[in-house]
Amino acid sequence: MNNLNANYSQNISVVRPEYFFISGLSGIPGSGYYYMFLFFIYVVAVIGNSIVLLIIACDRNLHSPKYIGVFNLALADIGETNALIPNMMKTFLFESQYISYNACLANMFFVYFFNTIQCVSLVVLAFDRFVAICLPLRYHAIVNNAVMCSVFSVMWMLSTFLVGLTVSLVTRLSFCKSSEIQSYFCDHGPVYRMACNDNSVNSFLAKVLTAVYFAAPLIIFLSYLCIFFALSKITTWEGRIKALKTCVSHLLLVGVCFFPIIGTYIAAIMLSLSPNVRIISTSLAYAVPPMLNPMIYVLNTAEVRNFIRTVIKKKSSSIVQSISVKQ
């Protein structure tokens, strides 16, 4: 009887490694320069998105439903880059490729959580454009600051639950074969596939997260089909172009965010990418959009450009006045 109990407890015990080893790029000379390039992207992304957050917070004219979405997107961009790139620098440039079990789960949660918030923000911004163009007379009744804040609050809670559940279920896995993660961060897929006990639940939740990610561009595509149908009813080309210009920034953000990662998924399925190619393509797909997003909004949004011009004029006039007083 004691032997049976011992065998039973051995079967249900979970083996958790003290550390995971993150492999990263292998066999590529000068790979450190690539990580330095990612660090440059990180610096630009943090500065750019911080400026966007500051502009939206300071300019009362930007306290509108659309810019609540932009504010959340900038927060998600800063969160994702901070969760991903500094850890990569520490791991590969300082040859610290071992990461503790709990730190690995934390890294996994924050990368996937902020990436999910990015997708959600773009979907909500697509809904904002849909209502503004297809239902302009009801826009302020359907979309207002209170509604947008409520929507994003719910989305943040749902994302926390879904990603938290996905990550927490990793703790039920037993790692008795290998502790080497074939990725550049604590990637959920490579981690749960290393388990030597049943990982079917983890595989199901990975598919759910992937489905959520791919559902976002599908919803956006359907929204823009409705938008283009509404634009076709506008009699003049000037009116169509004027309405379409309000969507340009969002369309660019959608393309920058989704096309690289979707292209990588398709290429991985059709071409069987090598680990190094997959790491470079996915790391760029995660890192580059947060850098480009603030540039797109600064260059393509009249409200933000007007605010920057106003601030520059005020600073210039104050400098001129101070010089004239000294003279």
- Burial (0-12, 13-18, 19+ Cβ within 10 Å), 54: exposed
Produce one character per residue of 228-259: b if its CB has 16 or more CB atoms within 10 Å, e if not. Answer: eebbeeeeeeeebeebeebbebbbbbbebbbe
Q: Are 175 and 196 in contact (CB under 8 A)?
A: yes
pTM: 0.86
Q: Are 291 and 41 in contact (CB under 8 A)?
A: yes
Task: Tell me the HSE value of 7 on the side-chain side, using a 13 A CA sphere.
Answer: 4
> pLDDT in tens for each of the 327 residues of the chain?
444 343 434 445 778 888 899 888 877 777 788 888 999 999 999 999 998 898 888 888 888 888 899 999 999 999 999 999 988 888 887 778 889 999 999 999 999 999 999 999 999 999 998 998 888 888 888 999 999 999 999 999 999 999 999 999 999 999 887 888 888 889 998 899 888 888 899 999 998 888 888 888 889 999 999 888 888 887 778 877 887 777 888 888 888 888 888 887 777 777 777 778 888 888 888 888 899 888 887 766 777 777 777 777 777 776 666 666 666
What are the tokens at 17?
A: 């490694």
The full set of domains in the chain, from first to last, is 18-326 (1.20.1070.10)
pLDDT for the residue 155: 93
φ/ψ bin of 312: left (φ > 0), alpha (ψ from -120 to 50), beta (otherwise): alpha
Cα 218 to chain centroid distance, Å, stands at 17
Q: Are 167 and 112 in contact (CB under 8 A)?
A: yes
CA angle 247, 70, 52 (to 5 degrees): 115
| Residue 29, SS3 per DSSP | coil
Instruction: Read off the DSSP letter of residue 137.
Output: G
